[in-house]
Amino acid sequence: MNIISSFRLESKNLCVLFVLSLSLLFACAPERVQVNLIPQPVSIKQSKGYFKVDSVKAEKEGIESYIHCTIDSALKEIGNEGYLLSVTPERIELSATTSTGIYYGKKTLYQLLTSQGIPCIAIKDYPRFQYRGMHLDVSRHFFSKEEVLKLLDAMSYYKINTFHFHLTDNGGWRIQIDKYPKLTSMGSYRTEKDWLKWWDGDVREFVPENTPGAYGGYYTKEDIRDILQYAAERHINVIPEIEFPAHSDEVFVGYPELCCMGKPYTSGEFCIGNEKTFTFMEDVLSEIIELFPSKYIHVGGDEARKTAWKGCPKCQALMKRMNMKSLDDLQCYIIQKAETFLNSKGRTMIGWDEILKNDLDSSSIVMSYRGQRGAIVAANKGFRAVMTPGEVLYFDWYQAEPRTQPQAMYGFSPIKRCILSIQFR
């Protein structure tokens, strides 16, 4: 079964959304040693002694100056991200098939470094999962560029190789799009910082940029380029997520003609019967493709309420013209359009598990957030899948008795449960 395991976490009432990889465990259970490495290597053997490190030199130059590195394409068994590390009292040797493997080997050395030096050790390591990811939702709670860079540093330390950057949702539009400037000038700031309070309040309102006291923000294209370069230097792929067809209230503040009622705050879904919707989608995705080198583009595809479609003349006319049987077919229609467009540009579509309603292209990837079943179904159909079951891996659930905890979304999923889930998969 072709399932890639990873996990998604959200924090407190800020609804900060992340996806962390289940690959915190590498391929097989290691023998017990005195060192603590995260993730655990495939094999590890410790011997007596230390390689002595000049702490002053290490602080100024890093430990790289002590390492003898070799890139050897013949080491096929460890793959593109694996490495072999040998530390003796006299020498540190690091071998890999690519610069990525060398990079990860160096990260291991930093974890091994102690005040006594680096313990003598022999390590063979390669990842169990190709996709090891973290997902950050900056729509509901905005993170500055500097905070994102700090997160990338933490990810690289633990060899997490994919950053899923959730840039648009109904909490705010977070990326500059040249062709549609109102997305950020009118849809990136709101009246309340606390997303849950704002979403459930009597008045849910976006306000223009520079409104005093407004909460929000967005990334310029230059900000995104800085983030992408920083991530690439740390061997992290950045996958952007742009939401279709739902969670798009922020779009309609500036471009109300794209929703069924033609005015904001009436629907969170694009009007599928309006050809302007598909012009907008292709225009936005074109700018995203131009900016992001990632082969994979995430289009959401989840939680469309469909209520507005039922009473929309344009949507109903499309259903009749295309001989659609249900409102679900409208959601499938826009997802199929997105998939076809991305494929035509040499990119691959990723979506939440609701895209399984589509007759998907074999290249598309399914993220299973509504439990594990979506990933299992996808894998059995031959699709690649990322496991992100909310009941275990969403950190916006309560960690303990609710009255003792900061506000969370709902549910009970302590960190211990997550760790046990990782250990036994």
Annotated catalytic residues are: 169, 247, 303
Alpha carbon of residue 253 to chain centroid: 26
Q: Which helix (H) or strand (E) holds 186?
A: none
**What span, in angstroms and rounded, lies between the C-alpha atoms of 272 and 278?**
8
* Distance, CA of 203 to CA of 245 (rounded, Å): 24
For residues 156-189, one letter each, b for 16 or more C-beta atoms within 10 angstroms of the residue's C-beta and e for the rest, the string is bebbbbbbbbbbbbbbbbbbbbeebebbbbbbbb
Region label for 306, one of left (φ > 0), alpha (ψ between -120 and 50) or beta (otherwise): left
Residue 96 and residue 83 in contact, taking contact as beta carbons nearer than 8 Å: yes
Please name which of 290, 300, 285, 294 lies closest in space to residue 238, comparing C-alpha atoms: 294
What SS3 state is found at 188? coil
**DSSP E strand boundaries for 245-341:** 296-300
3-state SS of the chain: helix, strand, coil percent to 5? 35, 25, 40
Tokens linked to 243? 């939401």
> What CA–CA distance (Å, rounded) separates 221 from 314?
34
Q: Contact, 89 vs 50, CB < 8 A?
A: yes
- β-pairing, 118-125 vs 83-87, is antiparallel
Q: Are 105 and 122 in contact (CB under 8 A)?
A: no
Give the residue ranges of DSSP H helices in 29-128: 55-61, 99-112
CA distance 218 to 173: 7
- Measure the CA–CA gap between 353 and 338, rounded to whole angstroms: 15
- Under DSSP, is residue 40 helix (H, G, I), strand (E, B) or coil? strand
Can you tell me which residue has the tokens 């390591």?
A: 125
* DSSP of 157-225: HTT--EEEEE-EETTEE-B--TT-THHHHTTSEES-SSHHHHHHSS---B--TT-TT-EE--B-HHHHH
What is the rounded CA–CA span in Å between residue 151 and residue 9?
Answer: 14
